[in-house]
Amino acid sequence: MAIDATSGFTLGGLDSAPGGNSARIAVLQFTLEFQEQTDVGYTVREDGVVTTAVGTNAATGDLTVTTGGGFTLKQLAGSATGDVKAEYLVSFGDIATTYLTMGADTTQNITVVGAHVSVGADLGGGTDVDAVCPVAVHTISGNSFAFSVGQPATAPDQIAATNDFTDETTDLVVSIMAFIKPTN
């Protein structure tokens, strides 16, 4: 049985200990339109519907969720440029706040203990993933974790170069698997 705060994104428990204190596997899959700007964020309900988009030129249609829900996604300020990288913060649980800060939502009674993220890029605005991007999960705190997405390893021209990410033309196809445990 999933904890209420995790029902939107979990596949089930790793341990069926009494009292609901087992770990959960969170799975999220979504496509995000790359934005070359700062402080872009999205709120996703437990049913996967994007309800809020914040930031210059950001729209709820920029994020399409195919699996999971009950999270916020924030592009961290000053992190995204077409030739460097993009850095994102994922927070599980209470989505009433547009931007949750790292580990600040203690009312959720959940803690992320590990995460794996993979990202592909559709560089031309079509429907196919053209390149695989290097990704690093670098910070885990409370109900949140942060990851960075780098330039594609191989661009369509077979050369990894700067400016492969184009604002509002590049789509990032993201798959996340996170392990979450209750803190109560």
Closest by Cα among 101, 97, 95, 77 to 87: 77
**Confidence at residue 107, expressed as pLDDT on a 0 to 100 scale:** 59
User: Cβ(70)–Cβ(6) under 8 Å?
Assistant: yes
Taking the model in full, what pTM does it have? 0.78
Least confident of 17-31, 74-88, 122-136: 74-88
User: Cβ(33)–Cβ(123) under 8 Å?
Assistant: no
d(Cα 50, Cα 140) in Å, to the nearest integer? Answer: 24
- Summarised one tens digit per residue, pLDDT across range 98-109 is 444 444 455 567
Q: What are the boundaries of each domain within the chain?
A: 4-182
- Summarised one tens digit per residue, pLDDT across range 128-181 is 888 888 899 999 988 889 999 887 765 555 555 555 666 566 788 999 999 988
- Comparing 121 with 94, the larger pLDDT belongs to 121
User: Cβ(158)–Cβ(126) under 8 Å?
Assistant: no
- List CB contacts of 139: < 8 A, sequence separation 6 or more: 102, 145, 146
Closest by Cα among 137, 140, 135, 139 to 152: 135
d(Cα 123, Cα 146) in Å, to the nearest integer? Answer: 23
d(Cα 119, Cα 132) in Å, to the nearest integer? Answer: 6
Q: Between the CA of residue 132 and those of 20, 129, 172, 174, 177, what are the distances in Å?
A: 38, 8, 10, 11, 17
